[in-house]
Amino acid sequence: MTGAAHPDHPDFARLVSEAQVVAYFGYGSLVNRDTLRTKFLAVRRARVSGWRRFWLPRPSVGIALLSVRPEPEHPTDGVVVYDLIDNLGAVDEREAGYDRRTVISSDIAIENDPAPGMPVYIYEATRTEETAADTGSAILQSYLDAVMQGFLAIHGEEGLAGFVSETEGFETIVIKDRAAPRYPRAVRLAEGEAAHFDALLTDRGVIFQPA
């Protein structure tokens, strides 16, 4: 796993020792630091086993969002975010419609784990066997941009390619809302990222539709 390192909060070790820290696994937009709205303390590259990422149809909001579902031994890359336990309510609110589960400790590998033994949560939406591709549910390009930029920054080109190839339900429509983002935590792309992301998605079979 590759990616640029970022410094931890200067009080991180003390806060861990005082049991003021909570950890949760991000596999979608949470991978991108620029989408985080709490004053998180540290982020680590990580991989969970036994969960598969997929595009979940969400009729209530009219688009597809990322979720995970249990699948024995399947690896999924992402990050572990270390946050103040007082912020967990705000994270739960952000992940409305998802249930907070606890990852089995033997099923997660955390790079340079700064808090061995700390429980790690993962957010799972209401179970379904259908993907966005099965139902024709659309994906917002502005949401996808945030996720892909996060994977590129944290896991590099190989990790980005893995996200695109391994996530189920990609063979669907992407709404081109990049110019007027509908995703509330939209990010600014670096030069060349937009064309790079679109090329990867085209190869995956995605169909782009004007907003």
- Asked if the model's pLDDT at residue 2 lies above 80, the reply is no
Instruction: Quote the mean pLDDT of the chain.
Output: 91
Give the domain ranges of the chain.
Answer: 12-210
The pLDDT assigned to 146 comes to 97
Q: Which residue has the higher pLDDT, 135 or 202?
A: 202
pLDDT-derived band at 127 (thresholds 50, 70, 90) equals low
- Asked if the model's pLDDT at residue 1 lies above 60, the reply is no
- Asked if the model's pLDDT at residue 137 lies above 90, the reply is no
Q: For 15-67, what is each residue's pLDDT tens digit? A: 999 999 999 999 999 999 999 888 899 999 999 999 999 998 877 777 899 99
C-alpha distances in angstroms, 65 versus 33, 94, 109, 132? Answer: 18, 13, 25, 8
Please name the fold of domain 12-210: Hypothetical upf0131 protein ytfp (3.10.490)
Determine the Cα–Cα distance for residues 60 and 88; give it in Å rounded to an integer: 24
Quick check: 167 and 53 in contact, CB under 8 A?
Answer: yes
* pTM greater than 0.75: yes
The pLDDT assigned to 5 comes to 55
Quick check: 173 and 138 in contact, CB under 8 A?
Answer: yes
The pLDDT assigned to 37 comes to 84
In this prediction, residues 3-26 reach a mean pLDDT of: 87
Comparing 76-90, 130-144, 197-211, the range with the smallest average pLDDT is 130-144
The pLDDT assigned to 186 comes to 95
The pLDDT assigned to 104 comes to 94
Sign of torsion over alpha carbons 29, 35, 40, 42: positive
The pLDDT assigned to 129 comes to 65
The pLDDT assigned to 195 comes to 97
- Asked if the model's pLDDT at residue 166 lies above 80, the reply is yes
- Asked if the model's pLDDT at residue 87 lies above 70, the reply is yes
The pLDDT assigned to 4 comes to 42
- Other CB atoms within 10 Å distance of the CB of residue 68: 25
Candidates 9, 41, 2; CA nearest to 24 is: 41
Determine the Cα–Cα distance for residues 137 and 173; give it in Å rounded to an integer: 7
